[in-house]
Structure 1
Amino acid sequence: MVKHFTEAKKIKMVSYYEANMSKQDIMKKCSISKSNLNKILKRYTNTSNIKRKKGSGRPKAFNDFQIDLMKKKIEKFLKFD
């Protein structure tokens, strides 16, 4: 199961990092893995933001137009029988 970190916890991690705390100490203090800490710090150093980019998830398989089109085709097919 994926563990999501709150914005407050991410801010705390970044502030520790900016206060020159070692990554090892931050990992212990915040109970976070090295890879997750590196992702958060990399995002912060590249964008000066801790939030993920909007729309950075998996795209939908079908858009609304395609769904409506499929519904119409199914209804038409069922009426044909």
Structure 2
Amino acid sequence: MDSIEIIGFLAAVLTTAAFLPQVYKTWKTKDVSSLSLPMLILFFIGIVSWLIYGVLKNSPSMIFANSITVISSFLLMYFKIKYGKN
């Protein structure tokens, strides 16, 4: 692994970790009032695109980060749809 990929992994860990508290808080409180579904959908599409790009570029750091973030953003969309009807 070269130094560029190490920087990529550092960025991947930090940006992915920054997103996880929101998922946890939403899961625990079931409060989705401050989440925008259109933003979540656009974000999800963007992350899926970054994941595809990472696969095509054969970048382990991009694949790692975006795989986790795809799951996290999908969960937030699910929570928004499930809990937003109340």
TM-score between both structures, scaled by the size of structure 1: 0.29
- Structure with a larger share of its residues in helix: 2
Structure 2-normalised TM-score?
A: 0.28
Greater RCO between the two (CA within 8 Å, min separation 6)? 2
